[in-house]
Structure 1
Amino acid sequence: MANLKEVRIRISSVQSTQQITKAMKMVSAAKLKRATNAIIQLRPYATKLKEILGNLSANLEGSSSPYTEEREPNKVLIVVVSSNRGLAGAFNMNVIKATNNLIAEKYSEQYKNGNVSILAIGKKSQDFYEKRNYNVIGNNNEVYTALTFENVTKITDSIMAGFKNGDYDKVELVYNRFKNAAVQILTTEQLLPLPQNEKAEETHQHQVDYILEPSKEEIVKELIPKSIKIQLFKAVLDSHASEHGARMTSMDKATENAGDLLKALKLSYNQARQAAITTELTEIVSGAAALNG
Protein backbone atom coordinates (compact mmCIF):
# COMPACT_ATOMS: atom_id res chain seq x y z
CA MET A 1 0.00 0.00 0.00
CA ALA A 2 3.01 2.27 0.47
CA ASN A 3 3.59 2.10 -3.28
CA LEU A 4 -0.01 3.18 -3.95
CA LYS A 5 0.39 6.14 -1.59
CA GLU A 6 3.56 7.29 -3.39
CA VAL A 7 1.80 7.14 -6.77
CA ARG A 8 -1.19 9.10 -5.39
CA ILE A 9 1.14 11.82 -4.06
CA ARG A 10 2.93 12.03 -7.41
CA ILE A 11 -0.37 12.24 -9.32
CA SER A 12 -1.46 15.12 -7.07
CA SER A 13 1.88 16.88 -7.61
CA VAL A 14 1.69 16.57 -11.41
CA GLN A 15 -1.91 17.82 -11.43
CA SER A 16 -0.85 20.93 -9.46
CA THR A 17 2.01 21.55 -11.88
CA GLN A 18 -0.35 21.17 -14.85
CA GLN A 19 -2.70 23.80 -13.40
CA ILE A 20 0.24 26.21 -12.99
CA THR A 21 1.49 25.70 -16.55
CA LYS A 22 -2.05 26.17 -17.91
CA ALA A 23 -2.39 29.46 -16.01
CA MET A 24 1.03 30.65 -17.20
CA LYS A 25 0.13 29.80 -20.79
CA MET A 26 -3.07 31.89 -20.55
CA VAL A 27 -1.21 34.84 -18.98
CA SER A 28 1.47 34.73 -21.70
CA ALA A 29 -1.20 34.53 -24.42
CA ALA A 30 -2.86 37.71 -23.10
CA LYS A 31 0.48 39.53 -22.85
CA LEU A 32 1.54 38.28 -26.28
CA LYS A 33 -1.47 39.97 -27.89
CA ARG A 34 -0.49 43.38 -26.50
CA ALA A 35 3.20 42.91 -27.29
CA THR A 36 2.41 41.80 -30.86
CA ASN A 37 0.20 44.83 -31.46
CA ALA A 38 3.02 47.13 -30.29
CA ILE A 39 5.68 45.70 -32.63
CA ILE A 40 3.30 45.45 -35.61
CA GLN A 41 2.39 49.12 -35.23
CA LEU A 42 6.03 50.22 -34.98
CA ARG A 43 7.50 48.24 -37.90
CA PRO A 44 5.97 50.30 -40.79
CA TYR A 45 7.17 53.53 -39.17
CA ALA A 46 10.68 52.17 -38.61
CA THR A 47 10.86 50.85 -42.19
CA LYS A 48 9.68 54.16 -43.71
CA LEU A 49 12.07 56.19 -41.55
CA LYS A 50 14.96 54.01 -42.68
CA GLU A 51 13.89 54.40 -46.32
CA ILE A 52 13.68 58.21 -46.11
CA LEU A 53 17.02 58.38 -44.32
CA GLY A 54 18.61 56.23 -47.02
CA ASN A 55 17.28 58.45 -49.81
CA LEU A 56 18.47 61.64 -48.16
CA SER A 57 21.85 60.70 -46.70
CA ALA A 58 23.21 58.79 -49.72
CA ASN A 59 23.17 62.01 -51.77
CA LEU A 60 25.09 64.01 -49.19
CA GLU A 61 28.73 64.73 -49.88
CA GLY A 62 30.57 63.53 -46.80
CA SER A 63 29.06 62.46 -43.52
CA SER A 64 27.29 65.12 -41.49
CA SER A 65 26.81 62.89 -38.44
CA PRO A 66 29.30 61.39 -35.95
CA TYR A 67 27.11 58.26 -35.87
CA THR A 68 28.09 57.25 -39.42
CA GLU A 69 31.84 57.46 -38.81
CA GLU A 70 33.59 54.20 -39.63
CA ARG A 71 36.47 53.38 -37.26
CA GLU A 72 38.74 50.43 -36.59
CA PRO A 73 36.73 48.29 -34.11
CA ASN A 74 39.24 48.24 -31.28
CA LYS A 75 36.58 48.71 -28.60
CA VAL A 76 33.26 46.92 -29.07
CA LEU A 77 29.95 47.14 -27.21
CA ILE A 78 27.42 44.31 -27.61
CA VAL A 79 23.81 45.03 -26.62
CA VAL A 80 22.19 41.75 -25.53
CA VAL A 81 18.37 41.80 -25.30
CA SER A 82 16.94 39.00 -23.15
CA SER A 83 14.15 38.76 -20.57
CA ASN A 84 13.92 39.20 -16.81
CA ARG A 85 12.22 35.84 -16.27
CA GLY A 86 12.78 32.25 -17.30
CA LEU A 87 10.37 29.39 -18.13
CA ALA A 88 10.48 30.39 -21.80
CA GLY A 89 12.30 27.38 -23.24
CA ALA A 90 15.60 28.19 -24.93
CA PHE A 91 14.66 31.85 -25.51
CA ASN A 92 17.32 33.42 -23.27
CA MET A 93 20.02 30.81 -23.83
CA ASN A 94 19.77 31.22 -27.60
CA VAL A 95 20.54 34.96 -27.32
CA ILE A 96 23.46 34.28 -24.99
CA LYS A 97 24.86 31.58 -27.31
CA ALA A 98 24.55 33.91 -30.31
CA THR A 99 26.41 36.62 -28.38
CA ASN A 100 29.17 34.20 -27.35
CA ASN A 101 29.53 33.02 -30.96
CA LEU A 102 29.71 36.62 -32.17
CA ILE A 103 32.53 37.36 -29.70
CA ALA A 104 34.40 34.15 -30.55
CA GLU A 105 34.11 34.50 -34.34
CA LYS A 106 34.36 38.26 -34.83
CA TYR A 107 35.83 39.95 -31.76
CA SER A 108 38.14 37.37 -30.18
CA GLU A 109 41.15 39.71 -30.26
CA GLN A 110 39.21 42.55 -28.70
CA TYR A 111 37.93 40.17 -25.99
CA LYS A 112 41.47 39.00 -25.19
CA ASN A 113 42.52 42.62 -24.78
CA GLY A 114 39.53 43.34 -22.51
CA ASN A 115 37.90 45.66 -25.05
CA VAL A 116 34.52 43.89 -25.37
CA SER A 117 31.75 45.33 -23.18
CA ILE A 118 28.24 43.98 -22.65
CA LEU A 119 25.14 46.12 -22.23
CA ALA A 120 22.42 43.72 -21.10
CA ILE A 121 18.73 44.50 -21.34
CA GLY A 122 17.12 41.77 -19.25
CA LYS A 123 18.08 40.08 -15.98
CA LYS A 124 18.95 36.70 -17.53
CA SER A 125 21.73 38.04 -19.74
CA GLN A 126 22.83 40.51 -17.04
CA ASP A 127 23.33 37.70 -14.49
CA PHE A 128 25.01 35.39 -17.00
CA TYR A 129 27.72 37.85 -18.01
CA GLU A 130 28.26 39.31 -14.53
CA LYS A 131 28.91 35.83 -13.12
CA ARG A 132 31.52 35.25 -15.83
CA ASN A 133 33.29 38.55 -15.10
CA TYR A 134 32.53 40.28 -18.40
CA ASN A 135 32.63 44.06 -18.49
CA VAL A 136 28.88 44.64 -18.05
CA ILE A 137 27.73 48.26 -18.45
CA GLY A 138 24.99 49.44 -16.08
CA ASN A 139 21.73 47.74 -15.16
CA ASN A 140 18.75 48.11 -17.50
CA ASN A 141 16.43 45.39 -16.21
CA GLU A 142 13.75 47.83 -15.05
CA VAL A 143 12.97 48.85 -18.65
CA TYR A 144 10.41 46.02 -18.88
CA THR A 145 8.48 47.43 -15.92
CA ALA A 146 7.38 50.32 -18.15
CA LEU A 147 8.32 49.48 -21.73
CA THR A 148 8.05 52.88 -23.42
CA PHE A 149 10.04 54.69 -26.10
CA GLU A 150 11.19 57.27 -23.53
CA ASN A 151 12.66 54.62 -21.20
CA VAL A 152 14.45 52.77 -24.01
CA THR A 153 15.72 56.11 -25.38
CA LYS A 154 17.64 56.68 -22.12
CA ILE A 155 19.64 53.53 -22.88
CA THR A 156 20.14 54.56 -26.52
CA ASP A 157 21.35 58.03 -25.47
CA SER A 158 24.07 56.49 -23.27
CA ILE A 159 25.16 54.18 -26.12
CA MET A 160 25.28 57.05 -28.63
CA ALA A 161 27.22 59.24 -26.19
CA GLY A 162 29.74 56.44 -25.63
CA PHE A 163 30.21 55.97 -29.38
CA LYS A 164 30.52 59.71 -30.00
CA ASN A 165 33.12 60.07 -27.21
CA GLY A 166 35.17 57.17 -28.53
CA ASP A 167 34.39 54.74 -25.69
CA TYR A 168 33.21 52.24 -28.35
CA ASP A 169 34.21 51.98 -32.00
CA LYS A 170 31.40 49.60 -32.90
CA VAL A 171 28.06 48.63 -31.33
CA GLU A 172 26.36 45.31 -32.15
CA LEU A 173 22.81 44.32 -31.24
CA VAL A 174 21.70 40.72 -30.50
CA TYR A 175 18.03 39.87 -29.96
CA ASN A 176 15.13 37.57 -30.91
CA ARG A 177 13.05 38.97 -33.76
CA PHE A 178 9.36 38.09 -33.49
CA LYS A 179 7.83 36.14 -36.38
CA ASN A 180 4.94 34.34 -34.70
CA ALA A 181 4.12 32.70 -31.38
CA ALA A 182 6.10 29.58 -32.22
CA VAL A 183 9.01 31.12 -34.16
CA GLN A 184 11.62 33.62 -32.97
CA ILE A 185 14.48 34.55 -35.31
CA LEU A 186 17.87 35.18 -33.70
CA THR A 187 19.13 38.47 -35.15
CA THR A 188 22.48 40.24 -34.99
CA GLU A 189 22.58 43.82 -36.28
CA GLN A 190 25.10 46.64 -36.35
CA LEU A 191 23.66 49.53 -34.38
CA LEU A 192 26.62 51.93 -34.65
CA PRO A 193 28.07 53.24 -36.84
CA LEU A 194 24.90 53.41 -38.92
CA PRO A 195 25.50 51.00 -41.83
CA GLN A 196 26.14 52.91 -45.06
CA ASN A 197 25.61 50.05 -47.47
CA GLU A 198 21.97 49.53 -46.50
CA LYS A 199 21.16 53.19 -47.11
CA ALA A 200 22.87 53.17 -50.51
CA GLU A 201 21.04 50.02 -51.57
CA GLU A 202 17.67 51.45 -50.58
CA THR A 203 18.46 54.66 -52.44
CA HIS A 204 18.93 52.80 -55.72
CA GLN A 205 15.61 51.04 -55.22
CA HIS A 206 13.61 54.09 -54.14
CA GLN A 207 14.72 57.30 -55.81
CA VAL A 208 12.41 59.96 -54.37
CA ASP A 209 12.59 63.71 -54.88
CA TYR A 210 11.60 65.28 -51.54
CA ILE A 211 10.77 68.92 -50.90
CA LEU A 212 12.99 69.70 -47.92
CA GLU A 213 12.70 72.36 -45.24
CA PRO A 214 14.98 73.69 -43.76
CA SER A 215 17.76 71.69 -45.52
CA LYS A 216 18.80 68.16 -46.35
CA GLU A 217 21.82 68.31 -44.03
CA GLU A 218 19.83 69.46 -41.01
CA ILE A 219 17.06 66.94 -41.59
CA VAL A 220 19.52 64.05 -41.88
CA LYS A 221 21.27 65.28 -38.73
CA GLU A 222 17.94 64.96 -36.89
CA LEU A 223 16.86 61.69 -38.53
CA ILE A 224 20.03 59.67 -37.87
CA PRO A 225 19.78 59.79 -34.02
CA LYS A 226 16.05 59.15 -34.26
CA SER A 227 16.61 56.15 -36.54
CA ILE A 228 19.12 54.65 -34.06
CA LYS A 229 16.66 55.12 -31.17
CA ILE A 230 13.85 53.53 -33.17
CA GLN A 231 16.08 50.60 -34.13
CA LEU A 232 16.86 49.76 -30.49
CA PHE A 233 13.24 50.31 -29.40
CA LYS A 234 12.07 47.97 -32.17
CA ALA A 235 14.59 45.32 -31.07
CA VAL A 236 13.35 45.49 -27.47
CA LEU A 237 9.69 45.26 -28.58
CA ASP A 238 10.57 42.34 -30.87
CA SER A 239 12.30 40.56 -27.99
CA HIS A 240 9.40 41.29 -25.62
CA ALA A 241 6.86 39.77 -28.03
CA SER A 242 9.19 36.83 -28.72
CA GLU A 243 9.54 36.17 -24.98
CA HIS A 244 5.79 35.81 -24.46
CA GLY A 245 5.47 33.69 -27.60
CA ALA A 246 8.27 31.40 -26.43
CA ARG A 247 6.81 31.15 -22.92
CA MET A 248 3.32 30.43 -24.21
CA THR A 249 4.66 27.66 -26.47
CA SER A 250 6.83 26.28 -23.68
CA MET A 251 3.99 26.22 -21.15
CA ASP A 252 1.66 24.62 -23.71
CA LYS A 253 4.20 21.84 -24.25
CA ALA A 254 4.69 21.47 -20.49
CA THR A 255 0.92 21.11 -20.02
CA GLU A 256 0.80 18.40 -22.69
CA ASN A 257 3.72 16.57 -21.10
CA ALA A 258 2.02 16.74 -17.70
CA GLY A 259 -1.10 15.22 -19.25
CA ASP A 260 0.93 12.35 -20.74
CA LEU A 261 2.66 11.78 -17.40
CA LEU A 262 -0.71 11.73 -15.59
CA LYS A 263 -2.00 9.03 -17.95
CA ALA A 264 1.07 6.89 -17.27
CA LEU A 265 0.81 7.44 -13.49
CA LYS A 266 -2.90 6.60 -13.39
CA LEU A 267 -2.26 3.44 -15.37
CA SER A 268 0.52 2.52 -12.94
CA TYR A 269 -1.76 3.31 -10.01
CA ASN A 270 -4.58 1.13 -11.35
CA GLN A 271 -2.19 -1.74 -12.02
CA ALA A 272 -0.74 -1.52 -8.50
CA ARG A 273 -4.26 -1.31 -7.05
CA GLN A 274 -5.38 -4.38 -8.99
CA ALA A 275 -2.29 -6.28 -7.83
CA ALA A 276 -3.01 -5.30 -4.20
CA ILE A 277 -6.66 -6.39 -4.47
CA THR A 278 -5.66 -9.68 -6.12
CA THR A 279 -3.12 -10.33 -3.34
CA GLU A 280 -5.74 -9.64 -0.64
CA LEU A 281 -8.29 -11.95 -2.31
CA THR A 282 -5.69 -14.70 -2.63
CA GLU A 283 -4.84 -14.37 1.07
CA ILE A 284 -8.55 -14.49 2.05
CA VAL A 285 -9.21 -17.59 -0.11
CA SER A 286 -6.10 -19.31 1.20
CA GLY A 287 -7.07 -18.52 4.81
CA ALA A 288 -10.62 -19.81 4.27
CA ALA A 289 -9.28 -23.00 2.67
CA ALA A 290 -6.90 -23.53 5.57
CA LEU A 291 -9.76 -23.14 8.10
CA ASN A 292 -11.97 -25.59 6.18
CA GLY A 293 -9.11 -28.04 5.74
Structure 2
Amino acid sequence: MASLKEVRNRIVSVQSTQQITKAMKMVAAAKLRRAQDNILRMRPYAQRLNSILSNLTRQISDDVISEYAVQREVRRVLIIAVTSDRGLAGAFNSNIFKGVNQLIAERYAAQAAAGNLTVLAIGRRSHEYFSKRGPVLGNYTHVFTQLSFDTVRVAAEEAMQGFRNGQFDEVTLVYNEFKNVATQVVRVEQLLPILPSEEPANTTAANASIDYIFEPSKEEIVRELIPQSIRVQLYKAVLESNASEHGARMTAMDKATENAGELLKSLKLTYNRTRQAAITTEILEIVGGAEALAASR
Protein backbone atom coordinates (compact mmCIF):
# COMPACT_ATOMS: atom_id res chain seq x y z
CA MET A 1 0.00 0.00 0.00
CA ALA A 2 1.27 3.47 -0.88
CA SER A 3 2.36 5.77 1.93
CA LEU A 4 0.34 8.84 2.96
CA LYS A 5 2.94 11.13 1.42
CA GLU A 6 2.78 9.35 -1.93
CA VAL A 7 -1.03 9.50 -1.98
CA ARG A 8 -0.99 13.21 -1.05
CA ASN A 9 1.46 13.92 -3.88
CA ARG A 10 -0.75 12.10 -6.34
CA ILE A 11 -3.82 14.04 -5.19
CA VAL A 12 -1.99 17.35 -5.67
CA SER A 13 -0.80 16.22 -9.11
CA VAL A 14 -4.28 15.19 -10.25
CA GLN A 15 -5.79 18.43 -8.93
CA SER A 16 -3.25 20.42 -10.95
CA THR A 17 -4.06 18.36 -14.04
CA GLN A 18 -7.78 18.93 -13.51
CA GLN A 19 -7.26 22.69 -13.32
CA ILE A 20 -5.32 22.59 -16.61
CA THR A 21 -7.98 20.52 -18.39
CA LYS A 22 -10.72 22.87 -17.14
CA ALA A 23 -8.80 25.87 -18.45
CA MET A 24 -8.16 24.18 -21.81
CA LYS A 25 -11.85 23.33 -22.09
CA MET A 26 -12.81 26.97 -21.52
CA VAL A 27 -10.27 28.18 -24.09
CA ALA A 28 -11.47 25.62 -26.63
CA ALA A 29 -15.09 26.67 -26.03
CA ALA A 30 -14.24 30.33 -26.68
CA LYS A 31 -12.33 29.50 -29.87
CA LEU A 32 -15.08 27.13 -30.99
CA ARG A 33 -17.67 29.89 -30.97
CA ARG A 34 -15.59 32.01 -33.32
CA ALA A 35 -14.67 29.07 -35.55
CA GLN A 36 -18.28 27.91 -35.70
CA ASP A 37 -19.45 31.38 -36.71
CA ASN A 38 -16.83 31.46 -39.47
CA ILE A 39 -17.83 28.13 -41.00
CA LEU A 40 -21.56 28.88 -40.75
CA ARG A 41 -20.97 32.10 -42.68
CA MET A 42 -18.75 30.34 -45.22
CA ARG A 43 -21.02 27.41 -46.08
CA PRO A 44 -23.77 29.41 -47.86
CA TYR A 45 -21.19 31.27 -49.95
CA ALA A 46 -19.43 28.06 -51.00
CA GLN A 47 -22.73 26.34 -51.81
CA ARG A 48 -23.99 29.30 -53.83
CA LEU A 49 -20.72 29.54 -55.76
CA ASN A 50 -20.88 25.86 -56.65
CA SER A 51 -24.51 26.24 -57.69
CA ILE A 52 -23.71 29.17 -60.00
CA LEU A 53 -20.79 27.27 -61.48
CA SER A 54 -22.95 24.19 -62.09
CA ASN A 55 -25.64 26.24 -63.84
CA LEU A 56 -23.08 27.89 -66.11
CA THR A 57 -21.18 24.75 -67.02
CA ARG A 58 -24.40 23.11 -68.21
CA GLN A 59 -24.90 25.91 -70.72
CA ILE A 60 -21.44 26.28 -72.24
CA SER A 61 -20.38 24.29 -75.26
CA ASP A 62 -18.44 21.07 -74.94
CA ASP A 63 -15.42 22.49 -76.72
CA VAL A 64 -14.81 24.90 -73.84
CA ILE A 65 -13.04 22.70 -71.31
CA SER A 66 -11.32 24.08 -68.26
CA GLU A 67 -7.72 23.09 -67.65
CA TYR A 68 -8.86 21.96 -64.21
CA ALA A 69 -11.40 19.53 -65.67
CA VAL A 70 -9.02 17.53 -67.86
CA GLN A 71 -9.33 13.82 -67.14
CA ARG A 72 -6.03 11.93 -67.33
CA GLU A 73 -4.85 8.48 -66.43
CA VAL A 74 -4.20 8.58 -62.70
CA ARG A 75 -0.50 7.92 -62.34
CA ARG A 76 0.57 10.68 -59.96
CA VAL A 77 -1.58 11.64 -56.98
CA LEU A 78 -1.61 14.47 -54.46
CA ILE A 79 -3.50 14.05 -51.19
CA ILE A 80 -4.23 17.18 -49.15
CA ALA A 81 -4.48 16.12 -45.49
CA VAL A 82 -5.81 18.74 -43.05
CA THR A 83 -5.08 18.28 -39.33
CA SER A 84 -4.37 20.57 -36.38
CA ASP A 85 -1.16 22.11 -35.07
CA ARG A 86 -1.62 20.69 -31.57
CA GLY A 87 -2.78 17.49 -29.96
CA LEU A 88 -4.97 16.90 -26.89
CA ALA A 89 -8.02 16.68 -29.15
CA GLY A 90 -8.93 13.02 -28.77
CA ALA A 91 -8.92 11.06 -32.03
CA PHE A 92 -9.18 14.20 -34.18
CA ASN A 93 -5.78 13.87 -35.88
CA SER A 94 -5.52 10.09 -35.80
CA ASN A 95 -8.82 9.83 -37.68
CA ILE A 96 -7.31 11.82 -40.54
CA PHE A 97 -4.24 9.59 -40.58
CA LYS A 98 -6.47 6.51 -40.69
CA GLY A 99 -8.62 8.07 -43.40
CA VAL A 100 -5.60 8.86 -45.59
CA ASN A 101 -4.09 5.40 -45.08
CA GLN A 102 -7.42 3.79 -45.93
CA LEU A 103 -7.76 5.97 -49.02
CA ILE A 104 -4.28 4.94 -50.18
CA ALA A 105 -4.99 1.26 -49.58
CA GLU A 106 -8.33 1.31 -51.40
CA ARG A 107 -7.67 3.73 -54.29
CA TYR A 108 -4.01 4.65 -54.63
CA ALA A 109 -2.10 1.52 -53.69
CA ALA A 110 -0.43 1.25 -57.11
CA GLN A 111 0.62 4.91 -57.11
CA ALA A 112 2.01 4.61 -53.58
CA ALA A 113 3.97 1.47 -54.48
CA ALA A 114 5.45 3.26 -57.51
CA GLY A 115 6.44 6.27 -55.39
CA ASN A 116 4.02 8.56 -57.23
CA LEU A 117 1.99 9.65 -54.23
CA THR A 118 2.61 13.00 -52.55
CA VAL A 119 0.94 14.59 -49.53
CA LEU A 120 0.27 18.28 -49.04
CA ALA A 121 0.06 18.50 -45.26
CA ILE A 122 -1.89 21.39 -43.73
CA GLY A 123 -1.24 21.56 -39.98
CA ARG A 124 1.84 20.71 -37.94
CA ARG A 125 0.59 17.27 -36.89
CA SER A 126 -0.06 16.29 -40.48
CA HIS A 127 3.36 17.53 -41.59
CA GLU A 128 5.16 15.65 -38.82
CA TYR A 129 3.30 12.43 -39.54
CA PHE A 130 3.54 12.30 -43.33
CA SER A 131 7.04 13.74 -43.67
CA LYS A 132 8.33 10.54 -42.03
CA ARG A 133 6.49 8.34 -44.53
CA GLY A 134 7.00 9.90 -47.93
CA PRO A 135 7.32 13.10 -49.96
CA VAL A 136 5.48 16.14 -48.61
CA LEU A 137 4.67 19.13 -50.80
CA GLY A 138 5.46 22.52 -49.24
CA ASN A 139 5.35 23.48 -45.59
CA TYR A 140 1.97 24.64 -44.27
CA THR A 141 2.48 24.24 -40.54
CA HIS A 142 1.70 27.94 -40.01
CA VAL A 143 -1.77 28.01 -41.58
CA PHE A 144 -3.73 27.95 -38.31
CA THR A 145 -1.50 30.55 -36.67
CA GLN A 146 -3.06 33.26 -38.83
CA LEU A 147 -5.97 31.54 -40.51
CA SER A 148 -7.24 33.50 -43.51
CA PHE A 149 -8.27 32.97 -47.10
CA ASP A 150 -4.96 34.37 -48.36
CA THR A 151 -2.99 31.90 -46.23
CA VAL A 152 -4.92 28.89 -47.50
CA ARG A 153 -4.89 30.26 -51.05
CA VAL A 154 -1.13 29.64 -51.28
CA ALA A 155 -1.67 25.92 -50.68
CA ALA A 156 -4.53 25.82 -53.20
CA GLU A 157 -2.42 27.57 -55.84
CA GLU A 158 0.42 25.06 -55.38
CA ALA A 159 -1.97 22.13 -55.83
CA MET A 160 -3.62 23.77 -58.86
CA GLN A 161 -0.27 24.55 -60.46
CA GLY A 162 0.87 20.96 -59.94
CA PHE A 163 -2.26 19.71 -61.67
CA ARG A 164 -1.92 22.16 -64.59
CA ASN A 165 1.72 21.20 -65.14
CA GLY A 166 0.95 17.49 -65.12
CA GLN A 167 2.84 16.92 -61.89
CA PHE A 168 -0.36 15.38 -60.47
CA ASP A 169 -3.20 13.68 -62.30
CA GLU A 170 -5.59 13.76 -59.37
CA VAL A 171 -5.85 15.81 -56.17
CA THR A 172 -7.91 14.50 -53.25
CA LEU A 173 -8.83 16.34 -50.06
CA VAL A 174 -9.16 14.68 -46.63
CA TYR A 175 -10.44 16.68 -43.65
CA ASN A 176 -12.76 16.64 -40.64
CA GLU A 177 -16.20 18.11 -41.28
CA PHE A 178 -17.79 19.90 -38.33
CA LYS A 179 -21.21 18.55 -37.32
CA ASN A 180 -21.43 19.57 -33.68
CA VAL A 181 -19.23 19.77 -30.61
CA ALA A 182 -19.13 16.01 -30.13
CA THR A 183 -19.21 14.88 -33.78
CA GLN A 184 -16.63 15.32 -36.52
CA VAL A 185 -16.85 13.33 -39.74
CA VAL A 186 -13.84 12.50 -41.93
CA ARG A 187 -14.58 13.65 -45.49
CA VAL A 188 -12.77 12.55 -48.65
CA GLU A 189 -13.42 14.83 -51.64
CA GLN A 190 -11.87 14.98 -55.09
CA LEU A 191 -10.54 18.48 -55.60
CA LEU A 192 -9.02 18.02 -59.08
CA PRO A 193 -9.95 17.34 -61.75
CA ILE A 194 -13.31 18.94 -61.07
CA LEU A 195 -16.18 16.52 -61.43
CA PRO A 196 -18.79 17.21 -64.13
CA SER A 197 -21.97 18.73 -62.78
CA GLU A 198 -25.10 16.60 -62.72
CA GLU A 199 -28.50 17.86 -63.86
CA PRO A 200 -30.73 18.27 -60.79
CA ALA A 201 -33.81 16.06 -60.74
CA ASN A 202 -36.16 19.02 -60.10
CA THR A 203 -35.02 21.12 -63.06
CA THR A 204 -38.04 22.15 -65.09
CA ALA A 205 -38.42 23.12 -68.74
CA ALA A 206 -39.39 26.63 -67.65
CA ASN A 207 -36.15 27.06 -65.75
CA ALA A 208 -34.16 25.63 -68.62
CA SER A 209 -35.69 28.10 -71.09
CA ILE A 210 -34.68 31.24 -69.16
CA ASP A 211 -32.36 33.37 -71.23
CA TYR A 212 -29.65 35.02 -69.13
CA ILE A 213 -27.44 37.90 -70.19
CA PHE A 214 -23.76 37.29 -69.39
CA GLU A 215 -21.11 39.96 -69.18
CA PRO A 216 -18.44 38.99 -69.99
CA SER A 217 -19.08 35.72 -71.87
CA LYS A 218 -20.20 32.54 -70.14
CA GLU A 219 -16.92 30.84 -71.03
CA GLU A 220 -14.82 33.62 -69.48
CA ILE A 221 -16.96 33.64 -66.35
CA VAL A 222 -16.51 29.89 -65.96
CA ARG A 223 -12.75 30.18 -66.45
CA GLU A 224 -12.65 32.71 -63.61
CA LEU A 225 -15.09 30.90 -61.33
CA ILE A 226 -13.51 27.45 -61.46
CA PRO A 227 -10.15 28.48 -59.91
CA GLN A 228 -12.00 30.58 -57.33
CA SER A 229 -14.29 27.66 -56.55
CA ILE A 230 -11.29 25.39 -55.96
CA ARG A 231 -9.71 27.90 -53.59
CA VAL A 232 -12.99 28.35 -51.73
CA GLN A 233 -13.46 24.59 -51.45
CA LEU A 234 -10.06 24.19 -49.80
CA TYR A 235 -10.62 27.20 -47.53
CA LYS A 236 -13.98 25.81 -46.46
CA ALA A 237 -12.34 22.46 -45.63
CA VAL A 238 -9.74 24.22 -43.47
CA LEU A 239 -12.47 26.17 -41.65
CA GLU A 240 -14.40 22.93 -41.12
CA SER A 241 -11.26 21.34 -39.70
CA ASN A 242 -10.58 24.33 -37.46
CA ALA A 243 -14.06 24.21 -35.93
CA SER A 244 -13.86 20.43 -35.61
CA GLU A 245 -10.52 20.71 -33.80
CA HIS A 246 -11.87 23.02 -31.13
CA GLY A 247 -14.99 20.90 -30.72
CA ALA A 248 -12.92 17.74 -30.37
CA ARG A 249 -10.55 19.41 -27.88
CA MET A 250 -13.44 20.77 -25.84
CA THR A 251 -14.99 17.30 -25.66
CA ALA A 252 -11.67 15.64 -24.83
CA MET A 253 -10.84 18.14 -22.09
CA ASP A 254 -14.33 17.81 -20.62
CA LYS A 255 -13.89 14.04 -20.47
CA ALA A 256 -10.40 14.42 -19.00
CA THR A 257 -11.77 16.72 -16.30
CA GLU A 258 -14.44 14.16 -15.42
CA ASN A 259 -11.85 11.38 -15.29
CA ALA A 260 -9.63 13.48 -13.04
CA GLY A 261 -12.59 14.02 -10.71
CA GLU A 262 -13.25 10.28 -10.52
CA LEU A 263 -9.56 9.63 -9.87
CA LEU A 264 -9.55 12.24 -7.10
CA LYS A 265 -12.46 10.48 -5.39
CA SER A 266 -10.59 7.19 -5.54
CA LEU A 267 -7.35 8.74 -4.27
CA LYS A 268 -9.08 10.53 -1.39
CA LEU A 269 -10.76 7.29 -0.39
CA THR A 270 -7.39 5.54 -0.51
CA TYR A 271 -5.85 8.38 1.51
CA ASN A 272 -8.52 8.15 4.21
CA ARG A 273 -8.17 4.38 4.43
CA THR A 274 -4.39 4.60 4.61
CA ARG A 275 -4.58 7.33 7.25
CA GLN A 276 -7.09 5.33 9.28
CA ALA A 277 -4.89 2.26 9.05
CA ALA A 278 -1.89 4.30 10.21
CA ILE A 279 -3.85 5.73 13.16
CA THR A 280 -5.08 2.27 14.13
CA THR A 281 -1.54 0.92 13.97
CA GLU A 282 -0.24 3.74 16.16
CA ILE A 283 -3.03 3.16 18.74
CA LEU A 284 -2.25 -0.55 18.84
CA GLU A 285 1.44 0.19 19.32
CA ILE A 286 0.68 2.61 22.16
CA VAL A 287 -1.69 0.14 23.87
CA GLY A 288 0.78 -2.68 23.38
CA GLY A 289 3.60 -0.59 24.80
CA ALA A 290 1.46 0.45 27.81
CA GLU A 291 0.53 -3.16 28.52
CA ALA A 292 4.14 -4.26 28.24
CA LEU A 293 5.20 -1.48 30.62
CA ALA A 294 2.49 -2.41 33.12
CA ALA A 295 3.48 -6.08 32.97
CA SER A 296 7.13 -5.26 33.65
CA ARG A 297 6.18 -3.58 36.90
Q: How would you bin the TM-score normalised by the shorter chain? A: over 0.9
Aligned position for 2:166: 166
Distance 1:123 1:187, change over 3 A: same
CA contact (8 A) 1:54 1:202 kept: no
Q: Deviations over 1:33-58 (max 9, x none)?
A: 11000000000010011011101102
**In structure 2, distance between residues paired with 1:34 and 1:43:** 15
Counterpart pick for 1:200 among 195, 198, 201: 198
Taking the TM superposition and a 5 Å limit, the aligned residue runs for 1:106-185 are 106-132=107-133, 134-185=134-185
**In structure 2, distance between residues paired with 1:169 and 1:59:** 26
Aligned position for 1:31: 31
Q: Write 1 or 2 for the structure with the bigger share of helix.
A: 1
What 5-or-longer segments of structure 2 have no aligned partner?
Answer: none
Letter in 1 for 2:267: L
Aligned position for 1:272: 274
What RMSD over aligned residues (CA atoms) do the two structures have, in Å?
1.5
Shift of residue 291, structure 1, vs aligned partner: 2.0
Letter in 2 for 1:85: R
Distance 1:32 1:93, change over 3 A: same
Aligned position for 1:66: 67
**In structure 2, distance between residues paired with 1:26 and 1:289:** 60
SS of residue paired to 1:143 = coil
Shift of residue 11, structure 1, vs aligned partner: 0.4
Of stretches 275-284 and 208-217 in structure 1, the one that deviates more from structure 2 is 208-217
CA contact (8 A) 1:117 1:136 kept: yes
SS of residue paired to 2:178 = strand
Shift of residue 205, structure 1, vs aligned partner: 4.2
Letter in 2 for 1:122: G
**In structure 2, distance between residues paired with 1:125 and 1:131:** 10
Q: Deviations over 1:55-108 (max 9, x none)?
A: 110222224310111111111000000011001011001001100110111011
Shift of residue 114, structure 1, vs aligned partner: 0.8
**In structure 1, distance between residues paired with 2:223 and 2:242:** 30
SS of residue paired to 1:273 = helix
CA contact (8 A) 1:55 1:202 kept: no
| Count of aligned residue pairs for this structure pair | 290
**In structure 1, distance between residues paired with 2:5 and 2:35:** 45
Distance 1:60 1:224, change over 3 A: same
**In structure 1, distance between residues paired with 2:46 and 2:273:** 61
**In structure 1, distance between residues paired with 2:46 and 2:119:** 25
Q: Deviations over 1:112-166 (max 9, x none)?
A: 111110000011111111112x111110111111111111111111111110111
**In structure 2, distance between residues paired with 1:104 and 1:80:** 15
CA contact (8 A) 1:153 1:229 kept: yes
SS of residue paired to 2:120 = strand
CA contact (8 A) 1:73 1:170 kept: yes
Distance 1:76 1:205, change over 3 A: farther
Letter in 2 for 1:288: A
Letter in 2 for 1:138: G
Counterpart pick for 2:247 among 242, 245, 252: 245
CA contact (8 A) 1:55 1:203 kept: no
Shift of residue 2, structure 1, vs aligned partner: 6.9
Name the % identity.
58
**In structure 2, distance between residues paired with 1:217 and 1:211:** 13
Letter in 1 for 2:127: Q
Aligned position for 2:100: 99
SS of residue paired to 1:287 = helix
